[in-house]
Amino acid sequence: MTPEEFRKSGHELIDWIADYRQRISELPVRAQVAPGEVRNALPSEPPESAESFASVMADLESIVVPGITQVQHPMHYGWFPSNASLSSVLGDIASSGMGTLGISWESCPALTEVEQVVCDWLRQLTGLSENWHGTIHDTASTACVTAMILAREKASDLSKNKGGLTALNAPLIVYSTKQAHSSIAKAVQLAGFGNDNLRYIEEDPYTRAMKPEALAAAISEDRAAGKIPAGIVCSVGATGTTAMDPVDAIADIANAEDVWFHVDAAMAGSAMLLPECRHLWEGVEKADSMSWNPHKWMGTILDTALFYVRDVEHLERVMSTSPSYLRSTADGEVVQYRDWGIPLGRRFRALKLWFHLRLDGPDTIRKRIRRDLDNAQWFKQQIESKEGWEVLAPVDLQTVCILHTPLGSDGVSLEGEALDQHTLAWVDKINSSGEAFMSPSILDGRWMVRVSVGVEGTERAHLERLIGLLENATSD
Ligand SMILES: *Cc1c(COP(=O)(O)O)cnc(C)c1O
């Protein structure tokens, strides 16, 4: 494709994207395809020669679009807000269009230095001190694997340079809670600790926050048994109910015990753009590493996960290998991001954040997040005021966990399996209608439904419509 051909097709594509975003609320929220349907609609053999742009676009429209669950739809309340601001889409296009390669500072000095600048802007925008140094990972999952490797290498005195974990004679232990995102258990497994060495600490039964005294007791018990406490992962906004672990109290234990402390704020980090939310991660300055995803609620398109550490020297000691072909005269003067994480080659992801922050402005983003916080509180009150409905967990941010309990034919409230069946039936009725989408989830062994507010297009009127759908779906 020549630049002139690109210009022509590119203009068409941008028009198509703009139209798509304008008509998104007319599309069904949940993808309306059966397993295998998209795949079967495509040729199983690769094309041999060039096809026209028009034929690719026709298939995009007729085959790909029906296979998309529209997370930008204003009636999408599933999983978490996965906003993709169009300003950040422009940054993504610019990044791809220039075709840069980030394997060292030399290979694209601007890639490294814009990344340093936007990570630092976001540090300031979330009220963090200058002690933090950031980089961009693809996802919070990768950030957590990195954090767990840092924890492992700290507790094992850089075992990677010796016999690795297999040469240690005591197990290394990581502490978290059952509320933590599944990526935490995955990171603990992949960093070599093994699932048996992940200890879930007791939670408060209502807030589902980690109990610091239970953590302290678990650490003492493990030390007494000859094990090595190596890492603590706490959640600021855990996945199920957006539970908030008490960061400050946990940090004190982590520091007293000299254990690596990682804060996973993947979802809730966006809220820290608002000074009034920062009490939720009070104590974060005492952590060793922290990550959050602008690609969720804040709305920079995937994949932009921020990872901050305080001790860059430890990070580089663990992550660098510096083969000769990558060494340069600038070493020591510049940051080599390959020494801050797992991959060597990196994209110019920082442009997504740079475009987003400059074209939308933090003031606009803050206003939208405040709107969502208000909407979530309003929705919570509406649910609580309705006969048969309840809200199951605190609503600190934008996730509202709801349950509807009807009376059975004997006049007694449904419970157990029958209640689960009722919950799954009403949520499926709404989800399969395409009118709205919510994620059912298990809390304390029972199904409930999470209503995650925060799509860029979701206004109060959409939540009013959702309430109508909930009433209809549970009224027969
Ligand atoms: C979404 C989420 C993650 C995982 O994020 P990815 O970027 O998809 O890996 C981890 N922890 C929490 C609390 C999350 O909300």
> Which of 181, 270, 272 should be mutated for ligand 1, with most atoms under 8 A from CB?
181
Return the ligand 1 atom nearest residue 302 CA. 7
The DSSP 8-state label assigned to residue 260 in this structure reads: E
Q: Distance between CA 137 and CA 124 in Å, rounded?
A: 19
> Which of 267, 298, 301 should be mutated for ligand 1, with most atoms under 8 A from CB?
267
50 and 98 part of one domain: no
In a domain, 30, yes or no: yes
Q: Ligand 1 pocket, 264 CB below 6 A?
A: yes
Q: Ligand 1 pocket, 140 CB below 6 A?
A: yes
173 and 302 part of one domain: yes
Query: Ligand 1: which residue has its CA nearest to atom 5?
Result: 140
Q: Ligand 1 pocket, 82 CB below 6 A?
A: no
| Cβ neighbourhood burial of 125 (10 Å; 0-12, 13-18, 19+) | middle
Q: Ligand 1 pocket, 266 CB below 6 A?
A: yes
353 and 368 part of one domain: no
Token pair of 112 as six digits? 């490294």
In a domain, 86, yes or no: no
Using the 3D structure, point to which of 344, 359, 374 is the last residue of a domain. Answer: 359
What's 188's domain CATH number? Answer: 3.40.640.10
Q: Distance between CA 463 and CA 375 in Å, rounded?
A: 8
| Cβ neighbourhood burial of 157 (10 Å; 0-12, 13-18, 19+) | exposed
In a domain, 79, yes or no: no
Q: Ligand 1 pocket, 348 CB below 6 A?
A: no
Backbone angles phi, psi at 291, to 5 degrees: -140, 150
45 and 98 part of one domain: no
> Which of 138, 141, 399 should be mutated for ligand 1, with most atoms under 8 A from CB?
141
Return the ligand 1 atom nearest residue 235 CA. 13
Q: Ligand 1 pocket, 234 CB below 6 A?
A: no
339 and 370 part of one domain: no
Q: Distance between CA 138 and CA 298 in Å, rounded?
A: 16
d(CA 140, ligand 1 centre) in Å = 5
In a domain, 27, yes or no: yes
- What's the number of domains the chain is made of? 3
pLDDT in tens, the chain (476 residues): 999 999 999 999 999 999 999 999 999 999 999 999 999 999 999 999 999 999 999 999 999 999 999 999 999 999 999 999 999 999 999 999 999 999 999 999 999 999 999 999 999 999 999 999 999 999 999 999 999 999 999 999 999 999 999 999 999 999 999 999 999 999 999 999 999 999 999 999 999 999 999 999 999 999 999 999 999 999 999 999 999 999 999 999 999 999 999 999 999 999 999 999 999 999 999 999 999 999 999 999 999 999 999 999 999 999 988 766 666 666 778 999 999 999 999 999 999 999 999 999 999 999 999 999 999 999 999 999 999 999 999 999 999 999 999 998 888 999 999 999 999 999 999 999 999 999 999 999 999 999 999 999 999 999 999 999 999 999 97
Q: Distance between CA 209 and CA 246 in Å, rounded?
A: 7
In a domain, 48, yes or no: yes
176 and 45 part of one domain: no
Q: Which uninterrupted H or E stretch holds 356?
A: helix 350-360
d(CA 275, ligand 1 centre) in Å = 22
Q: Is 464 helix (H, G, I), strand (E, B) or coil?
A: helix
d(CA 302, ligand 1 centre) in Å = 12
325 and 400 part of one domain: no
d(CA 441, ligand 1 centre) in Å = 16
319 and 292 part of one domain: yes
In a domain, 78, yes or no: no
In a domain, 83, yes or no: no
Q: Distance between CA 463 and CA 378 in Å, rounded?
A: 9
pLDDT at 325: 65
Task: Tell me the C-alpha to C-alpha distance, in Å, between residue 31 and each of 18, 65, 303, 325, 394.
Answer: 20, 8, 22, 47, 31
240 and 326 part of one domain: yes
Backbone angles phi, psi at 235, to 5 degrees: -105, 125
pLDDT at 85: 98
Q: Distance between CA 435 and CA 76 in Å, rounded?
A: 9
pLDDT at 450: 97
Using the 3D structure, point to which of 318, 337, 359 is the last residue of a domain. Answer: 359
In a domain, 434, yes or no: yes
d(CA 141, ligand 1 centre) in Å = 6
153 and 194 part of one domain: yes
370 and 353 part of one domain: no
What's 13's domain CATH number? Answer: 1.20.1340.10
143 and 170 part of one domain: yes
Using the 3D structure, point to which of 53, 68, 83 is the last residue of a domain. Answer: 68
What's 448's domain CATH number? Answer: 3.90.1150.170
Q: Report residue 244 CA to chain centroid gap.
A: 15
Range of the domain at 401: 364-473
